Amino acid sequence: MATFNQRRPIDAPIPHLRRAWRTIAGLVAVCCFLALMLATAPDAGAKTTTPTARPTAARPSPTPSGVQAPSLPASGLERATVTNIVDGDTIDATLNGRTVRIRLLGIDTPESVHPSRPVECFGREASRFLKELLDGQTVLLESDASQGDRDRYNRLLRFVWLPDGRLVNYEIIAQGYGFEYTFNLPYRYQDQFKAAQRAAREAQVGLWSSNACNGERTPAGAGATPAPTAAPTAAPTAAASNPLPRSFNNCKPDPNAARAPNAPVAIVDVNKRAETVTLKNVSATTVNLDGWIMCSIKGSQIHQGIGGALEPGKTRTFTHTGGNIWNNRETDPGALYDPQGRLVSYWADR
């Protein structure tokens, strides 16, 4: 006899529930497929957005062939915010809540604000380039124990890294806005900096261009194009071009250092290790250097070997003919005097 209240086992399948679950699973799969298609398909009407960052100057173009740029260290760096660009190789920044002045290591850029030297070729361009790179940027600072923590002007000595991993000191050399500079001892990236300078010089980039400075430290506006030639004169017309009074005092520090006209002849380089001085005639007439005096101020010594005619726009290097006089371990300014003992040019060793 059948009983009408017999119950189905609790775990027995229920056909309509199974069909419902299959339907739900199918809908989920379809939704996932559509979502995937929308995520990967291009949208002609949508604008692509990327994380915003403050624009900086581009990498060197062309990149020096065969030159490997330094890589950002993994640790040991300090974070600072750049607040001011002093010139092409000096900045002010906020570090640990204090404003500090920082001199970039391993480089030297043409002068643009020096108190005793004229604005040099590419000096303003170097300052503008550094401003484009660093103005308002948060940077990473790297020290080098071989160079000391500060220079004699109490400026911090640092390598300056951009957040994207570029080393600013290196970029300045590679893009032709400055020279490699070894003050005393070799520094961490010296080989790479020198290689970048060789590449920039060979490619005639920036200040190495024959249409710019031709790699020489000339007063701004003088450029690398030689002045028109003129008939040689027996002696310079120093009285007409140099209003300074006689101040030669056996190569002692000169009170007129900040007023040196750097004309008609300018000191463009002093290589203290090689004991050489490089002079350039920035005037339109030939200058006879016989009787002129070149001083090493630190030791109050005369750099022998200066003399002969120097034609307009020409540069010549004079090697000291005696023993060593230039101080390689400390700053040693140079001063050039005409035969009347008037200061013509002053080279501030930095």
Neighbours of 221 (CB within 10 A): 10
Q: By CB neighbour count within 10 A (0-12 exposed, 13-18 middle, 19+ buried), where does 115 fall?
A: exposed
> Which residues, 6 or more positions from 24, have their beta carbon under 8 angstroms from its beta carbon?
none
Q: Is position 103 annotated as part of the catalytic site?
A: yes
Q: Is position 216 annotated as part of the catalytic site?
A: no
Alpha-carbon distance of 124 to 170, in angstroms, equals 19
* Phi, psi for 275 (deg, rounded to 5): 60, 50
248 is written with which tokens?
Answer: 């030669």
Strand partners, 101: 92
Alpha-carbon distance of 280 to 46, in angstroms, equals 61
Strand blocks (E) in 264-314: 265-271, 276-281, 287-288, 293-296, 301-302, 309-310
Q: Which member of 155, 188, 217, 342 is catalytic? A: 155
134 is written with which tokens?
Answer: 């660093």
Q: Is position 128 annotated as part of the catalytic site?
A: no
Task: Write down how long the chain is.
Answer: 350
Q: Is residue 342 a contact partner of residue 244, using CB atoms and an 8 Å limit?
A: yes
Q: Is residue 336 a contact partner of residue 267, using CB atoms and an 8 Å limit?
A: yes
* Phi, psi for 129 (deg, rounded to 5): -60, -45
Neighbours of 41 (CB within 10 A): 8
Residues with catalytic function:
103, 111, 155
